[in-house]
Amino acid sequence: MNIPANLKYTKSDEWFDPVTGKVGLTDFAQGQLSDIVFVEVVVSPGDVIEPGKTIASVESVKAAAEIYSPVNGKIVAVNDALSSNPETLNSDPYGAGWMIQVEGGDASGLMDAAAYEKYCEERAH
């Protein structure tokens, strides 16, 4: 399981990069979902979001899931490439698989990598 130390994490398996403002789905989550076949980002640049607001829907061969914003802020970019290449969430969840980019996000309420790894291990048993 890949859990980059520079990112912050939610209990609903989203990641947030405090440096770039990018948000995405964790490696743990994409592994649980299996082969992702559909992604729809439901927010747009200029939208103001808050933690827990739905930002995207994903579907895999196993399940469908809502993706939630881990932070508040203003959306400055959306990764439109995911709609035509949803499998990017499986192959590169922390790189090309980012979903939105937020300006002004506050990561203070999120887990660090060690806490998120422990949380994932607890759920795996």
Identify the domain containing residue 74 by its residue range: 9-120
Map the chain to HEC letters. Answer: CCCCCCCEECCCCEEECCCCCEEEECHHHHHHHCCEEEEEECCCCCCEECCCCEEEEEEECCCEEEEECCCCEEEEEECCHHHHCCCHHHHCCCCCCCCEEEECCCCCCCECHHHHHHHHHHHHC
Mean pLDDT for all residues in the chain: 95
Q: Is residue 1 part of a domain?
A: no
Count: domains in the chain? 1
What's the predicted TM-score (pTM) here?
A: 0.95
Q: Is residue 27 part of a domain?
A: yes
Is the pLDDT at 84 greater than 70, yes or no? Answer: yes
Is the pLDDT at 15 greater than 80, yes or no? Answer: yes
pLDDT reported for residue 124: 74
Confidence category of residue 6, pLDDT binned at 50, 70, 90? very high
CATH number, position 50: 2.40.50.100
Q: Is residue 96 part of a domain?
A: yes
Q: Is residue 37 part of a domain?
A: yes
Is the pLDDT at 125 greater than 80, yes or no? Answer: no
